[in-house]
Amino acid sequence: MRSDVLNLAAQRNMFLSPEALEIVLSDPEPRMFINNILSAISKNTMFIGKDDVLGFLSGNTEKELRTVAPKNKRQPDISIIPGTDVTGESMCEGKVDDFSKYFMNRYNALRDILKRKTGAPVPIERVRSMDREVHIIGMVSETSVTKNGHRMLRLEDDSGSCKAIILKDSPHINDIIVNDEVIGLTGSPTRDGMMLVASEIIRPGVPSERWEPSDSVASVAFLSDIHVGSHTFLETRWKSMAKWLRENAKSMDLDYLILPGDVVDGIGIFPGQQEELSIDDIYKQYNRLAEYLKEIPDHIKIVLQPGNHDAVRPAEPQPALSEIFTKMFDSNVMMTANPVQLNIEGRTILTYHGRSIDDWVASVQRLTYEDPVAVMKEMLDRRHLAPMYGLKTALAPEKKDYLVIDKRPDIFVTGHVHGAATEEYRGIRLIAASTWQDQTEFQKMHNFNPQPGVMPIVHLGTGKTTMKGF
Ligand SMILES: [Fe+2]
Ligand SMILES: [Fe+2]
């Protein structure tokens, strides 16, 4: 912490006296404290002494500081990162050729990320003629377990395909490997050249980086899976949350709210849904949601993203809601695709409804609905939100694979499974953003207990994450 504080000052060419440093370190949030001091102090100051810090403290309580620093009370600073929102960009017709181009785009994007770690791979067609250890990058097209307990993979690149074996005593024998993910593999060809014996499996991964504090004083909150129109929508808890926002959002600079999909329950999403609806008209469902959102303070910029219950195509990436729905909402509501990457006050936020979690849980024994954050880590390791093709998550063969995680996010949020959790992974804030729907009949049948009524909040300056329950 001591060196963090000194570094933050040094980055702005300022230096702290030992006494000033001690005062800063005695604060419960030294990083935020020093950032506030640094923002408040004249740019011409090079040495910050005890008197500077005390002067700052006496003249500025935390509340006053916000009014003293009006530059932090600026206009909302939120934008969609270019190239990450499919709305209006969809080009696919679903032809066979579109799919091969789509997978080629995925392969190339992930190979480029892997290459930065491992160097250039050997084209797979040349593996047979090699008599030394080689490194390849391939898309997994088959996995199986032999009767002796080894694992067999088939890997493909644009030149061809090959088999690889992970021996049962390899440290990689229990690695999670799913279809259509792109991996790096180092291995030696067998004598007959028929396959590679794997010694190393390399994933694209995300670099581990510290959350660098900034002078932002704003926070972003998340409300997933609202399911307006369902009998089990928790209206009383929703209303107490909206009331809390009206009373607190302004003073705590909670300026952004993201809704990661399933904002309404929809119509005809699953057999027998009719019985569970309190509003059985899709327009009226969105209308009611628009009314609920009007009860949220106007200064909050709201991002609304669709999920699998919303009135857009189910195939991912899903474009934003169309105008017949969006015109019901106030101008502080911004419509985006699913997934999308946002830039809010300098932080990158990847928000994805999370439909593919169904496929991860169905395909990998050790992943469960109870621990969505573990699934999110697998997505980050593979730099892909929904690698498995042909399961529950329909994928639209766009020219570009919008489900590739091409940029390391600062915050990664999903919904869909109705769980509430947060964890830090390699410096990234992972968030499973709860729900505003009580346990459904389907969940009862499967013995699944949702965690409704929780609003995760992330401070954009410090990265501090809190789970506010209602
Ligand atoms: Fe949902
Ligand atoms: Fe969902």
Residue 93 CA to ligand 1 center (angstroms) comes to: 28
Condensed to tens digits (0 to 9), the pLDDT of residues 373-432 reads 999 999 999 999 999 999 999 999 999 999 999 999 999 999 999 999 999 999 999 999
Are 245 and 168 within one domain? no
Question: Measured in angstroms, how far is the CA atom of residue 435 from the centroid of ligand 2?
Answer: 10
308-334 average pLDDT score: 97
Q: Does residue 449 lie within any of the structural domains?
A: yes
State the distance from the centre of ligand 1 to the C-alpha of 409, rounded, in angstroms: 23
The answer on 250 and 168 residing in a single domain is no
How far away, in angstroms, is 263 Cα from ligand 2 center? 9
Distance 402 CA to ligand 1 centre (A): 21
CA of 142 to the centre of ligand 2 (A): 28
**Could you tell me if 252 and 190 lie in one domain?**
no
Give the number of whichever ligand sits closest to the CA of residue 418. Answer: 1
- 226: CA distance to ligand 1 center in Å? 7
Ligand lying nearest the CA atom of residue 353: 2
Average pLDDT of the chain, as a whole number? 92
Please report, rounded to a whole number, the percentage of residues in the chain having pLDDT higher than 70.
95
- Counting ligands in written order, which one lies closest to the CA of residue 226? 1
Residue 87 has pLDDT above 60, yes or no: yes
The reply to whether 133 falls in a domain is yes
Q: Quote the Cα angle for 232-301-425, to 5°.
A: 75
The CATH number linked to 162 is 2.40.50.140
Residue 213, domain extent: 78-91+208-469
**Which ligand does the CA of 392 lie closest to?**
2
Stretch 123-130: mean pLDDT: 92
Nearest ligand for residue 314 CA: 2
Q: In this predicted structure, what is the pLDDT of residue 380? A: 98
Nearest bound ligand to the CA of residue 265: 1
Q: Does residue 69 register a pLDDT over 50?
A: no
> Does residue 459 fall inside a structural domain?
yes
**Same domain (yes/no): 391, 411:** yes
Does a structural domain hold residue 196?
Answer: yes
Task: Examine the domain organization and report whether 321 and 408 are in the same domain.
Answer: yes
Q: 167 and 221 share a domain?
A: no
Question: Do 355 and 451 have their domain in common?
Answer: yes
Centroid of ligand 1 to alpha carbon of 145 (angstroms): 35
460 and 317 within one domain: yes
Q: Are residues 146 and 295 in the same domain?
A: no
> Which CATH number fits the domain that encloses residue 439?
3.60.21.50
Establish if 265 belongs to a structural domain: yes
User: What pLDDT is stored for residue 62 in this prediction?
Assistant: 37
CA of 4 to the centre of ligand 2 (A): 40
pLDDT at residue number 60:
43
The verdict on 265 and 410 lying in the same domain is: yes
374 shares its domain with 238? yes
Same domain as 189, residue 251: no
Joined together, the tokens standing for residue 247 give: 């009373």
- CA distances to 77, 106, 112, 147 from 100, in Å: 38, 10, 18, 33
Say which ligand is closest to the CA of 435.
1
Ligand with smallest separation from the Cα of 264? 1
Greatest CA separation found in the chain?
A: 79
461 in a domain, yes or no?
A: yes
State the ligand closest to the CA atom of 419: 1
Count of domains observed in the chain? 3
Q: How many angstroms is it from 225 CA to the middle of ligand 2? A: 7
Distance in angstroms (rounded) separating the CA atoms of residues 280 and 10: 60
Per-residue pLDDT of 353-365, as tens digits, reads: 999 999 999 999 9
Residue 52 lies in a domain: yes
Ligand 1 centroid, distance to 218 Cα (angstroms): 28
Residue owning tokens 């909050």: 300
Of the ligands numbered here, which is closest to the C-alpha atom of 440?
A: 1
Residue 450 Cα to ligand 2 midpoint, Å, equals: 13
Ligand 1 mean position, distance from CA 278 (Å): 16
Q: What is the pLDDT of residues 224-276, one digit of tens each?
A: 999 999 999 999 999 999 999 999 999 999 999 999 999 999 999 999 999 99
**Band of the pLDDT at 66, cuts 50, 70, 90?**
very low
Measure 327 CA to ligand 2 centroid, in angstroms: 23
Which ligand gives the minimal distance to the CA of 437? 1
Per the domain annotation, does 116 fall within a domain?
Answer: no
Ligand 1 centroid – CA 385 distance (Å): 17
Proximal ligand: closest to the CA of 263: 1
CA of 248 to the centre of ligand 2 (A): 29
How far does residue 241's CA lie from ligand 1's centre (Å)? 19
Give the tens place of pLDDT for each residue, 32-56. 778 777 777 766 677 788 777 776 7
